[in-house]
Structure formats: structure tokens, C-alpha cells
Amino acid sequence: FTPWESGNAKPFIEFRNVTKRFGDFTAVDNLSLTIYEREFFALLGGSGCGKTTMMRMLGGFEEPSAGEIFLDGQNLAGVPPYRRPANMMFQSYALFPHMSVERNIAFGLQQDKLPKGEIEARVQQMLKLVKLEDFAKRKPHQLSGGQRQRVALARSIAKKPKVLLLDEPLGALDRKLREETQFELMDLQTELGMTFLIVTHDQEEAMTVADRIAVMDRGRIIQVATPAEIYETPNSRFVADFIGSINLIEARVASRNGTVTRLKAPNLEREIAVSQPTDANVGDTVWFAIRPEKIRLGFDAPQNGTANAAEAEIWDIGYLGDVSIFHAKAAEDLILKSTVANITRTVERPISWEDNVWLSWDEDAGVILTR
């Protein structure tokens, strides 16, 4: 268990009822959030949802219109950016073009008037950490995008801040380098024992690097949870739809019996039995949400007696290499997606267009969403 899951972790960054207005526009709306020490935390949301504004308030580049922000027990109200134990790495990297790599890294330390020997030692340590020892004398324009990004990273951690704020740090990198760097960031964070806060609109990136994620929409937090919880048990259609691919079926609660809730979808013949907990009541209109990889495909009706099955016709097939995505038409207005791993070969013969198939899934495979 990570400390924040066991309840022993120290609250480190606290937003308490924070609102930020620009004129009459509310960018962050009465938002409260606790981030724990040594956590790698991601703020995830679409463009304009307020994630950068949250980070800028923490860094001291914006003041909240209402509410308070605490860092390591200190109220940050009125504390200027350079006095905050948080350092921000900007999207643009903002390196000094005329300075060498080592001078870029040393810059902040010189401003703080650290002894010369210590600056040199710290620069060497940082160069080693980001694997740029051989590039110390180069200027930023003599580096690749990924190397520049690592210089910016080295510079922002050289002062050993308690918190590193990363605003879309990998946006300029190509996909491959981006994936590599994500793992490097995770290693670095563990090695340094710092708290990392990353802002991203890329759900895969947030899922990869973060211990916990806050999913934001229009200045509010919709769900805060681990990547697995966000994926497996989203709390709303917004989160379910934002992360990965999902089937959403509108239905009515037909009955509740112990742990099993039964749903009736207008376009499905059989009821859907769900064992995941819900607070929906009989008669409520809800949505049944299930990930495509949780839906099995086969030519025969499932034999094990579970109620969760539907006949369908294959409408589309997408071959992605590791998996294939099947679009299966279960009713006139209901196409369900099923993702099948190509390695498992669960079907007797290849499934092709217009085949009649059976879709089936377990009672705990999907969740009931009430909003």
C-alpha cells in the first residue's frame, strides 16, 4: 500500500474552497483537494477546465479570488513565487538560449547565492540524474527536444524544491520519447522523494505516471482516485467517457435484490444484472457503463446461465495489432464495442462482418452511473 491509501500520509498540498475568477468568468469553482507528501498527482481535464490555473495559484503566479492554499502546513496567501517551496517547469521549458546547459541549471542556484563549490556539485548531480553529463557545454539550440526537456527538468529540481509543478511537460515530445520520459519522470520522483504535480489533458499520460488523478471539468473536480479506480469504477458519465473507451447504455432500475441490481434497457431483450454497489433506486433512470474489453464475443449463447448476454451482428472490425475492436449491433440503435486481445484467440474461427454473435459479460464487469 502506498501511504495515502493506508491513511498514514501527511497532507502536503491543500486547496480549501478555492475559487478563481477572471472578470465574471469562474475558472476554478470552490474547489477543495488534498495532495499527500511524495505523491505523484495528476490534474487531468480538457482544454480550459482550469487545471493550469490551479497550478499557477500553487506556484504563486495567480492569487485565488476566494479560499486558501496550504503547502506543508504554511498558508501561501501573499507569499511570492520565489519564496514558495514549489518550482514550476513550464510547457515552453523557458531555457536561456545563450547559456550552456550547465549554466542554465546553475542559474537559480546562483540567484540564491549558494557557495560556488556547492553549485558545481549540484549541477554535476543534476546532469547525472537526467543523463546529460556529455552535453554540459552545449547551448539549447544544439540539443534535441527531449534533451531540452531534460535540461528544463534538471533546472527545476536543482534547487531541491519540496514540490515540482509540471505543466504539460512532455507536450513537445514525440510519442516514443514521451513514453520513455514518463517512466524516467516516475523513477526520478521516487529517487528524489519529492511531491510531483502534473497538469495534462492526456489521459494515458496521467494514468501512466500518477499515483492519483483528479479529473476536472469546468473548474470543478469530478473524481479523485487512483488510475485503476478511475478506469474501473468511474463515478459519472463524464469520467467514464473521458478515460478510455466505454459502452454507455441508458436503462431503468427494474429490481434490487441483495447485492444484485437488475436493469432494463429499452433496446435489450434481457435484463442486465450488476453486482457493483450503487445507490440507485428501483424506477430510476441510470446508465450502465462497461469497458469494451469486459465484453466477450462468441458464436454460441453462453452456457453458464448468467443473464448478461445479448445477440448481435458484427458491424465493424478494427484490427489494432495487440487487440481487435468489434462493433456489434445489438439493436437498431445500440452498437456495443468489444475489444478482444488477439493473443488469446478465444473464438473458434475468425469473426467477420455480418456474423451473428453473442456478447456476454460478468455481473461485476460494469458499473451503474446515476449522473
Residues 6+ apart with CB under 8 A from 204: none
CB of 48 to ligand ATP, least distance (A): 4
Q: What is the number of other CB atoms lying within 10 angstroms of the CB of residue 313?
A: 14
* Residue 51 sits in the site that holds ligand ATP (CB under 6 A): yes
* Residue 52 sits in the site that holds ligand ATP (CB under 6 A): yes
47, 303, 304, 344: which one contacts ligand ATP (CB under 6 A)?
Answer: 47
11, 48, 145, 266: which one contacts ligand ATP (CB under 6 A)?
Answer: 48
SS3 262: strand
Write out the binding residues for ligand ATP, residues 146-165 only, by CB under 6 A.
none
18, 53, 242, 330: which one contacts ligand ATP (CB under 6 A)?
Answer: 53
Distance CA 267, CA 331 (A): 6
Q: Whose CB is nearest to ligand ATP?
A: 52
Q: Which residues of 326-352 are buried (b: 16+ CB within 10 A; e: fewer)?
A: bbbbbbeebbbbbbbeeeeeeeeeebe
Distance of CA 282 to the CA centre of its chain: 33
Element spanning 325, H or E: strand 323-331
C-alpha cell at 72: 506543508
Q: What is the number of other CB atoms lying within 10 angstroms of the CB of residue 19?
A: 15
Q: Which is nearer to ligand ATP, 49 or 263 (CB)?
A: 49
Write out the binding residues for ligand ATP, residues 2-41 only, by CB under 6 A.
22, 25, 27
CB of 67 to ligand ATP, least distance (A): 16
* Residue 84 sits in the site that holds ligand ATP (CB under 6 A): no
41, 50, 151, 253: which one contacts ligand ATP (CB under 6 A)?
Answer: 50
Q: What is the number of other CB atoms lying within 10 angstroms of the CB of residue 2?
A: 14
Q: Which is nearer to ligand ATP, 58 or 194 (CB)?
A: 58
Total of chain residues touching ligand ATP, rule CB under 6 A? 12
* Residue 45 sits in the site that holds ligand ATP (CB under 6 A): yes
Write out the binding residues for ligand ATP, residues 197-216 only, by CB under 6 A.
201
Distance CA 198, CA 35 (A): 12
SS3 54: helix
Which residues lie near ligand ATP (CB under 6 A)? 22, 25, 27, 45, 47-53, 201
